[in-house]
Amino acid sequence: MKSLAALAAVVVLLWLFPRVWYTHTDSGQPVQWLAEQTNAPGWTYQVIGIDKSAERLLVADRLINGEFTRTERGSVPVRVFGARRFKEDPKEIGLFVHTPDRCWVQGGWNLDRVDPDFIEVEIHGRKIGFERRIFTVQGQSELVYFAGLVGGQTLPYRLDHNFSVSRRVVAAGHSDRITKANRWNDSVLWKRVWDSFASRRPLLGPKQFLRISTPVAQGGVQAADRRLQEMLPVWLVPEPVGTSNLSKASR
């Protein structure tokens, strides 16, 4: 009976520990979500359908996927994607698990080297950290930024947990072999888990994932960077506190 009681106590402790430990917020930044706008002056927005299998995989409460183009002819498009999950379900796959580092590479894109691979962009007075990548397929290159928020705050750790694995499999010519084994053996993944533990900032909770990209066309990468950084504060605006399910879920 004593061993059974001890086992029950361990189970309860393991269940309670994340709820007690991962409770910190950053007092230096607001608890505020970013609303995705589709009606932007000078831009035309077109909805792009999401593959049903991808939709089932994400299990998001809200998905936005589309493309902005300038109203003048010949403009280069800017593609946007936003996913929100109002409440974490431990039985579902995490919203940040399938970053472009993993999904785009598994879809046949090559992951090119780019420097820097992480930047901060100021959006309406708030600095947001974005992973920065260049993906190439069939001679076409796309500059991609992506970021995440948990509980309405930016993360104290990067979303690069698939980055080193994907670079290795692309270099080896095995883009379809991003397996659980090579992911779980990757030191970057475990470093991000430790970063979350040390900061006491949650891995779980209401989440928002953001991705924006544009072709690397005339003007090269610098022009593509300018295009994305111009579009970010147009696409994303601070959401009034308490107006969304995400705001309510984060309380």
Instruction: Tell me how far apart the 2 most distant CA atoms of the chain are, in Å.
Output: 77
Q: What's the confidence (pLDDT) of residue 162?
A: 79
Give the model's pLDDT for residue 86.
83
Nearest-angstrom CA–CA distance, 126 and 33: 11
pLDDT, residue 32, reads 85
pLDDT at 167: 75
According to the model, what pLDDT value does residue 97 have?
Answer: 77
Among candidate residues 114, 220, 113, the one with its CA nearest the CA of residue 170 = 113
Q: What is the pLDDT of residue 233?
A: 96
As given in the structure block, the two tokens for residue 74 are 């010949």
Task: Give the integer Cα–Cα distance in Å for 115 and 178.
Answer: 23
Tell me the domain boundaries of the chain: 27-249
In sequence order, what are the residues at sequence separation of 6 or more whose Cβ sits closer than 8 angstroms to the Cβ of residue 75?
69
Question: What is the 3 state secondary structure string of the chain?
Answer: CHHHHHHHHHHHHHHHHHHHHCCCCCCCCCCCCEEECCCCCCEEEEECCCCHHHHHHHCCCEEEEEEEEECCCCCCCEEEEEEEECCCCCCCCCCCCCCHHHHHHHCCCEEECCCCCEEEEEECCEEEEEEEEEEEECCEEEEEEEEEEECCEECCCCCCCCHHHHHHHHHCCCCCCCCHHHHHCCHHHHHHHHHHHHHCCCCCCCEEEEEEEEECCCCHHHHHHHHHHHHHHHHEEECCCCCCHHHHHCC
pLDDT, position 94: 66
**Can you give the pLDDT at residue 7?**
46
Query: Do 175 and 157 form a contact (C-beta atoms < 8 A)?
Result: no
Q: Which two tokens stand for residue 88?
A: 């974490």
Q: What is the pTM of this model?
A: 0.79
* Cis peptide bond N-terminal to 238, omega within 30: no
Taking 70 as the pLDDT cut, the residues of the chain under it are 1-30, 52-59, 73, 88-94, 172-204, 241-251
Residue type, 151: G
